[in-house]
Structure 1
Amino acid sequence: GGRSPTSYASTATASVPTRWAPRSCAQLASHGFDVWLQEAFVTLLRGDRLVLVDEETRRDAERLLELLAAERVERMYLSPAQLDQLAISLTERPADLALRHISVGGEPLRLSAETRALFASLEGVVLENQYGPSETHHGSSSILSGDPQEWPAAPSIGRPIPGTRMYLLDRHLNLVPPGVPGELYIAGDALARGYIGKPALTAERFIADPFQPGRRMYRTG
């Protein structure tokens, strides 16, 4: 809700130099999933090419590989489970892919041997691990490049993207020192307004930001 789509689009279109940015993106997510904003909205705002994927192809890894190769898709967004399936399918059926940037999100990323092999076979491809609940959309990211064998098994969620703030706080809403466990709170331009028809839950999870008077933050739990 609120400024999230336009805020994220502004960040995404400004953060990647045009000379480097992949120019085609596969549209895999359903309209009800917030990553659709990245696939469709941001791609079209940048003047890039959006490759539509039908439901049958989306569910069939072999057909998806054929489409990615035929359409020379350079950028795509996947869940870690989808990435693993794509990697396994590619070992069974090699394809000439043009991928340059793969983003994952929606669940914790754990790198499998097949996924490492996939990126080892695609020279120069970047893996971006994104984090952000639906209440804040895309809040942080980390970029993995270089030798996939040297990537950590459980990559970090990275640092906040521009326009987003993240705090690790104790139960009194004080910042915790490095290495001390705390609860993650997210604030910034992409924060949702709340839950429709659920004022009590909205008040519980969207609270005043003690570090930015007049602003709110989301309690991730």
Structure 2
Amino acid sequence: APGLHRDPAQLIELIRRERITTLHFVPSMLQAFVADPAVAGCDSLTRIVCSGEALPVDAQRQVFDKLPNAGLYNLYGPTEAAIDVTHWTCREEGRDSVPIGEPIANLQTYVLDAGLGPVAVGVVGELYLGGTGLARGYHRRPGLTAERFVASPFGDGERLYRTGDLARYRADGVIEYMGRIDHQVKIRGLRIELGEIEARLMEQDEVREAVVLAVPGAGGLQLAGYLVPSTPVADDAAAEALRATLRERLGAVLPDYMVPVHLLLLEQLPLSPNGKL
């Protein structure tokens, strides 16, 4: 039924009743789903597909722990390239991120620098896409089309789509998603990767979900972290103690200018009707 995908309890009941085998989730909704204590009863599941957002390694870990019979697959791709263009079969690698994998048939991926030159393995650049799946452009928006769909620098007469996503190649050819270019912010002249702060927060056992934003504040932009604790916080004193603990831990692994000024505790992160953050 419309909206049922946003209610984990009803979704679990439906899966168990109908013996559903396959789910396709936006990662934000997957996190809400696997956090429900009754999810382990969905033993009919054999395949869970994720796309639409970066898949947190904690969500992967929870799927492995609570739904061991279900394969987990991470897909990546923008609408401008007929949606999903890379695939990855998730497995425990002991890393702090889930790769987006390798391109599907008839699609090409390139990690390029600002001059459209290929970067070395392990170096972060912008992800470009080529191949059969590319759109022709944006309807009646020639300027935006020219900006995002560029001539291939490889002399093959083809076009590439610039995704605005940061990525890097591993030595085995697998692509790691590193965040959005526009998620890089400058505060007091210092360049900050919001995704790096989120990753450090997600490493804490006390944190189930985390989002960091740069918000206007006194004297300019300030970092604000929005957190969903792993267990409910009893009162204001416990909340303040948790904030102090998290700030101390972040300060041990990040420069002080990357430790959020504000840490707000939420019962859940706000999601759009289709389950995206």
Same fold (TM over 0.5): yes
Question: Smaller-chain TM-score range?
Answer: 0.5 to 0.7
> Which runs of no fewer than 5 residues in structure 2 stay unpaired?
165-277
Q: Which residue does 1:170 correspond to in 2?
A: 113
Q: What percent identity do the matched residue pairs reach?
A: 37
Amino acid at match of 1:157: I
Q: Provide the C-alpha distance between the structure 2 equivalents of 1:77 and 1:212, rounded to a whole number of angstroms.
A: 38
Question: Secondary structure at 2:10's aligned position in 1?
Answer: helix
Residue 104 of structure 1 is aligned with which of 50, 57, 61?
Answer: 50
Q: Which residue does 2:76 correspond to in 1?
A: 131
Q: Provide the C-alpha distance between the structure 1 equivalents of 2:155 and 2:43, rounded to a whole number of angstroms.
A: 46
Q: Provide the C-alpha distance between the structure 1 equivalents of 2:70 and 2:38, rounded to a whole number of angstroms.
A: 20
| Root-mean-square deviation (Å) | 2.0
Q: Which residue does 1:33 correspond to in 2?
A: none
After superposition, residues 7-26 of structure 1 pair within 5 angstroms as none
Q: Which residue does 1:66 correspond to in 2?
A: 13
Question: Secondary structure at 2:108's aligned position in 1?
Answer: strand
After superposition, residues 49-128 of structure 1 pair within 5 angstroms as 54-89=1-36, 91-92=37-38, 94-112=40-58, 116-128=61-73
Q: Provide the C-alpha distance between the structure 2 equivalents of 1:219 and 1:115, rounded to a whole number of angstroms.
A: 28
Higher strand share: 2
Question: Secondary structure at 2:41's aligned position in 1?
Answer: coil
Deviation at 1:94, TM superposition (A): 4.5
Amino acid at match of 2:67: L
Q: Provide the C-alpha distance between the structure 1 equivalents of 2:54 and 2:142, rounded to a whole number of angstroms.
A: 29
After superposition, residues 189-204 of structure 1 pair within 5 angstroms as 189-204=132-147
Deviation at 1:152, TM superposition (A): 3.1
Q: Which residue does 2:221 correspond to in 1?
A: none
Question: Secondary structure at 1:62's aligned position in 2?
Answer: helix
Amino acid at match of 1:175: P
Q: In terms of mean alpha carbon deviation, does 175-184 or 115-124 score higher?
A: 115-124
Q: In terms of mean alpha carbon deviation, does 130-139 or 93-102 score higher?
A: 93-102
Amino acid at match of 2:44: A
Question: Secondary structure at 1:192's aligned position in 2?
Answer: coil
C-alpha contact (below 8 Å) 1:76/1:103 kept by paired residues: yes
Q: Provide the C-alpha distance between the structure 2 equivalents of 1:188 and 1:94, rounded to a whole number of angstroms.
A: 40
Q: In terms of mean alpha carbon deviation, does 117-126 or 135-144 score higher?
A: 117-126
Q: Provide the C-alpha distance between the structure 2 equivalents of 1:201 and 1:208, rounded to a whole number of angstroms.
A: 14
Please tell me whether Structure 1 or Structure 2 has the larger radius of gyration of its CA atoms. 2
C-alpha contact (below 8 Å) 1:144/1:151 kept by paired residues: no
Amino acid at match of 1:66: E
C-alpha contact (below 8 Å) 1:83/1:115 kept by paired residues: no
Q: Provide the C-alpha distance between the structure 2 equivalents of 1:181 and 1:115, rounded to a whole number of angstroms.
A: 23
Q: Provide the C-alpha distance between the structure 2 equivalents of 1:205 and 1:197, rounded to a whole number of angstroms.
A: 14
Question: Secondary structure at 1:85's aligned position in 2?
Answer: helix
Higher relative contact order (CA 8 A, sep 6+): 1
